[in-house]
Structures are given as C-alpha cells and as structure tokens.
Amino acid sequence: MPAPTLGKLELAALLAVARLDDEAYGLAVRADLADRTGRDYSVGAVYTTLQRLEDKGLLRSHASEPLPVRGGRSRRHFSVTGAGARALREAERNAAALWAGVGSLSNPRLA
Amino acid sequence: MTETPQARALRVAPRRAGGPAPTASERLLVALGADPDFIDGVFGDFAEEYAVRLAHDGAPSAAAWRAWELVRSMPHLLLCALRHGGPRAYLRVGALLTIVMLPLAVVVVAILTRDGAPATLDAGLHQAGNGFVVNNLRPVQLQMRVRDKAGHALPSDSVRFAWASGSPLTISPLGILTCRERANATVRASLGSISTIVDVRCRPVQEIRATTWIDFIEGDTTTRHLPFEAIGNDGRPVMELRGAVRIFDTDVAALEGANIRAKAVGQTFVVVEIGEQEAQMMVVVHQRVRTFEQLRDDQRYVARAVRLAHGDTVHWAVPHGTFWLKYLPRRAGEAPPTITVVGSIGCTPGDGIHVRRMPLGEFGTYCLVQRTGDISVTLAHGMSGAEWVEGTLAIERVQLR
C-alpha cells in the first residue's frame, strides 16, 4: 500500500515527533516546529495536524499521568508508527530524487 | 461502533475526577464531536505554556497570549471537531450559529431599521415638486411625507397645516382642503420643530370628455395620446392633472404614461380617474381584411381600407349579426364619404348612419346595425370636397347575450 501523502506541516510535525522521541507532546512539537521553520503555528493548528497524522496511522499517542503544571491535565505523547517511519523514508527518497542532478547550491545555474 | 457525545463525556469524566472542570470551550468542542482526550491535550498545552509565560512574562502578557492563542486555534479545533463529529456535529454547529446569530441579526436589523426623529417633510399624495395639484371638487386630505434622517417613513398624522400666502383657501389644521375654484396658494406644514412651505394648486375638474372608442388598425405601431380632456368647473380645460389611468387587457394595448399603443387584435377598456371624475374608453385593435365577406366567427374586429375619388361609389356586403360600423378617416378632421346601409336594418341612434364629430374633434361614423336580412354598405364620394377620401371602414361585431 502506498504511503499516505504528507502536507508540508504534516511532514514537519512527523519529523519533530521522530526527533523528540519520548518528549514528543504538543507543546514540545510546537516549539520544535517554531525553531526549525521560523513560524509560530497555533496550538490548534499543531494539534489538529498531529491528530490527522494519527488518523492516517502514522502516529500513535498515549496520555501521561495528570501533571500539576498542566492544571491537573495529562500530556498526550506521540510516537511514530511503522507506517509513519516508512512515510518519512519515502518523503526523504522523494526529496532526494527531486534534488538529484542539481548538485551543489553553488551551481551557477542556481545563482 | 460510533461513540456518542454523551458516551465521550462519560468517558472523560472519571479521568477528570479531582482535576480541573472542563471550560465552556472544552464542553462546546466535545459536544460538537471532538475527541475528549484530544481536547484535554490541547487545553493541557494551553495551561502548561500559560504557566511558563506567567513565570517569565507576568500575568497580563500570559493572559493576552492565551486569549489570542485560543482565538487563532479555535477555527482549527472547530474543523477538527466537525470532522470527527460527522453529520450530527454539522447540525449542532448549524443550531449553535442560529442561536448565536439570529438574535444578533435581529438586533442589527432593529438598529438599522429603527425610526428616528422626524427630519424632513415633503408633499406626498398628488405630489408635484414640493406641492400639491388638487383636481377634486370635494374636500381632500393633504398627506405629507415624513421621514427621519435615515430616510425611514414616519406617520404623518400629527402634521399640522395653515394657509401661508396666495389665493384664499379653505384648509383645516389637519390638512383637509376644499378647492372650489382655480387657485394658487402656499401652505405651511409643520410637525414639531420642523416645517415647510408647500405649493397648492387647486384645479378642480368637473368633467372628463373622452372618445367612446380608441380604434387602431392591426400593424399600427404609433403611440397616441389618450383622447380625453379634463374640463374645470369654470368650463375651461385643465392642464395640470393628477390621477390614474388603468387598462384592463394589456395583451391588446399598453399604456405608456398618458399614451397608448396597440399590441394585438382585440378589445379592451381604458379608465381615466381624475379627482372624483372618471371616463372609460373602449380600445379596439382591428384586423386588416380585404373583404367583409365570409368572415369567421372569431373575426370580431375587422377593418377594410377605403379610397374613393370624386364620383366613386362602392357597395360592400356586410357580415351577419349585430355590429358597430365605423368610418375612421385617415387623418383626424378629414371629411368622411357618404355612407348608407342598404337593407332592412335597425340602427342606433336614429334610423340610419350618422356622421358625427367626436368630442375631441375627430369625425367618426358609429352605428349599431342589427341585421335582419341581406344588407350592404355603400360608400360614395361626390364631386365636391377633397379629390380623394381615404380612411378605413371598421366593423366591430357585437356578441349579444
């Protein structure tokens, strides 16, 4: 079965979850996205993206114990599923295929 | 199996036991179909980042961040809730929007349409500029138009009137005016702090003189003035008129202001109302035919061209039945030929064909002919008068009940 198509924010969020590993929950993912993309995505935008990825089977989640810092609420931790890992590899291959033959960014044709 | 919002609410309740009570926003999103765990995660992030910002930036900054973040997150969360809630969620959103928006819309409409204080006064009925033309002989109520600044019409019952200048008029404070003769005057109309001067032109109409018929021949596309004249109680024509003109069958002819234009073969009526007077005119559009013989029953309005030189005489058979016979000169005022009906006939008025000058100066020959045997009509042009007599002989067949 082909991997689901990923949007730009979906790919960035999936990569953030993969990078953050055990610390991947909404706030951390949002901070990572802000650091790497320079964009301040809203909490709602990040969470809906994460849920969409979960719906697609690329992420799974579990709730932590309630935390005082969150007003007694749980953190929802995300982790990449096997399908999510395959989707990331395919996205990487696709990117590499797109860049193939272009060479270095010092190529005069890109100047 | 699809989980209902109630079931989700029950599922989330135990986990929250001892924890924070869900906010209105949370309850709304869950009610719309959002996953409670998902919403719990979102609002937990809000709380956690708020706590961090509170420690670093202070309460106002943290509160501002939370408010703004909630506003810009809400569209995403609502869409997410709708996506997970299915058709029921859409229904709930529709109901919610109706509940929220309907009173808002009512308030907005009420604000936009509310009436303000009277701002302008001008003449309404019988309006002619900022004034009245009155063609009535009996007392009439002058009606002013009152509007507020936004242009909304307001009741005019409280407007008061008083003669201001010109010819003496009989006008009551409530605006009841009696025009006994031609007169030009001005009247002051007042309502609270606003007032205006309006012209009043009394032109009482005693009579409307009109032709009985307005005849057209099929294919005549000209527009004619309605042939009527209003006569004042001083016996002189009245030129300033306010009234109404109606036509009964707009398939036969059309009114364009005080003009009329034929449309199709047939018959209808035009009614002119001015003041207390009324006049009715029959409009007939005739079908052009080459002969009056062998007409079908449905050919009720027919006309045949007449062109006679000095000394010419023609005899034409006329159809069975009862009909009006009319001669229509090509141009108004041109003399008609000598017309006689041969045979056993009963003719109204009198006992023969009468050539009459119509009230507005046209010649016409109108006669109700009741055929009782073979008859024909003879048209003759003598040796005097114009070299040619040209016009139309029209037959309007009457359906007797």
| DSSP assignment string, A27-95 | HHHHHHHHHHH-----HHHHHHHHHHHHHTTSEEEEE---BGGGTTBPPEEEEE-HHHHHHHHHHHHHH
Query: Torsion over CA of B342, B344, B348 and B350, rounded to 10 degrees?
Result: 80
Determine, for residues B79 and A48 on separate chains, whether the beta-carbon distance falls below 8 Å.
Answer: yes
Q: For an interface test with B, give the residue of A10, A25, A41, A70 to mutate (most B CBs within 10 A).
A: A70
Determine, for residues B73 and A63 on separate chains, whether the beta-carbon distance falls below 8 Å.
Answer: no
- Residue numbers in A near B45 (CB within 8 A): 25-27, 30, 43, 47, 70
Question: B284 - beta bridge partners?
Answer: B215, B267
Highest mean pLDDT among A67-81, B141-155, B241-255: B241-255
**B10: pLDDT strictly greater than 50:** no
Q: How far A28 CA lies from chain B's nearest CA (Å)?
A: 9
| Three-state secondary-structure class, residue B383 | coil
Is this prediction's pTM over 0.90?
Answer: no
Answer yes or no: are the C-beta atoms of B144 and B156 closer than 8 Å. Answer: yes
**B5: pLDDT strictly greater than 50:** no
Regarding predicted confidence, which is higher, B373 or B264?
B264
Determine, for residues A63 and B41 on separate chains, whether the beta-carbon distance falls below 8 Å.
Answer: yes
Residue B310, both tokens? 């000095």
Q: What is the mean pLDDT of residues B101-126?
A: 79
Per residue in A14-48, pLDDT (tens digit) is 999 999 988 899 999 999 999 999 999 999 999 99
Classify B22 in phi/psi space as left (phi over 0), alpha (psi -120 to 50) or beta.
beta
CA B32-B35-B36 angle, 5° bins: 100
- Longest CA–CA span in chain B (Å) reads 124
CA B352-B358-B362 angle, 5° bins: 110
Closest Cβ–Cβ partner in A26, A67, A71 for B42: A26
Closest Cβ–Cβ partner in B37, B40, B72 for A42: B72
Determine, for residues B48 and A69 on separate chains, whether the beta-carbon distance falls below 8 Å.
Answer: yes
Determine, for residues A43 and B49 on separate chains, whether the beta-carbon distance falls below 8 Å.
Answer: yes
Q: How far A63 CA lies from chain B's nearest CA (Å)?
A: 8
- Residue numbers in B near A75 (CB within 8 A): 41, 44, 48
Q: How far B74 CA lies from chain A's nearest CA (Å)?
A: 7
Rounded distance, CA A44 to CA B46, Å?
Answer: 10
Question: A14 - beta bridge partners?
Answer: none
Residue with tokens 């990449």: A80
Determine, for residues A44 and B48 on separate chains, whether the beta-carbon distance falls below 8 Å.
Answer: no
Determine, for residues A69 and B43 on separate chains, whether the beta-carbon distance falls below 8 Å.
Answer: no
Rounded distance, CA B122 to CA B308, Å?
Answer: 59
Please report the pLDDT score of residue B220 as a whole number.
87
Average pLDDT across chain A, whole number? 86
Pairing of strands B301-309, B277-288: parallel
> How far apart are the two ends of chain B, measured CA to CA in Å?
79
Q: For an interface test with B, give the residue of A40, A73, A77 to mutate (most B CBs within 10 A).
A: A73
Collect all residues from B whose CB is shorter than 8 A from any CB in A.
15, 18-20, 35, 37-38, 40-49, 51, 69, 72-77, 79-80
Closest Cβ–Cβ partner in B20, B42, B76 for A71: B20
Per residue in B258-308, pLDDT (tens digit) is 899 999 999 999 999 999 999 999 999 999 999 988 888 889 999 999 999
- pLDDT tier at B8 (50, 70, 90 boundaries)? very low
Q: How far B36 CA lies from chain A's nearest CA (Å)?
A: 12
Please report the pLDDT score of residue B137 as a whole number.
93
Regarding predicted confidence, which is higher, B354 or B199?
B199
Please report the pLDDT score of residue A73 as a whole number.
84
- Lowest-pLDDT range of B165-179, B195-209, B327-341: B327-341
**B9: pLDDT strictly greater than 50:** no
- pLDDT tier at B99 (50, 70, 90 boundaries)? confident
Determine, for residues B45 and A43 on separate chains, whether the beta-carbon distance falls below 8 Å.
Answer: yes
Looking at chain B, which residue has its C-alpha nearest residue A30? B45
User: pLDDT > 70: what percent of chain A?
Assistant: 89
- Lowest-pLDDT range of A60-64, B129-133, B201-205, B379-383: B129-133
**B19: pLDDT strictly greater than 80:** no
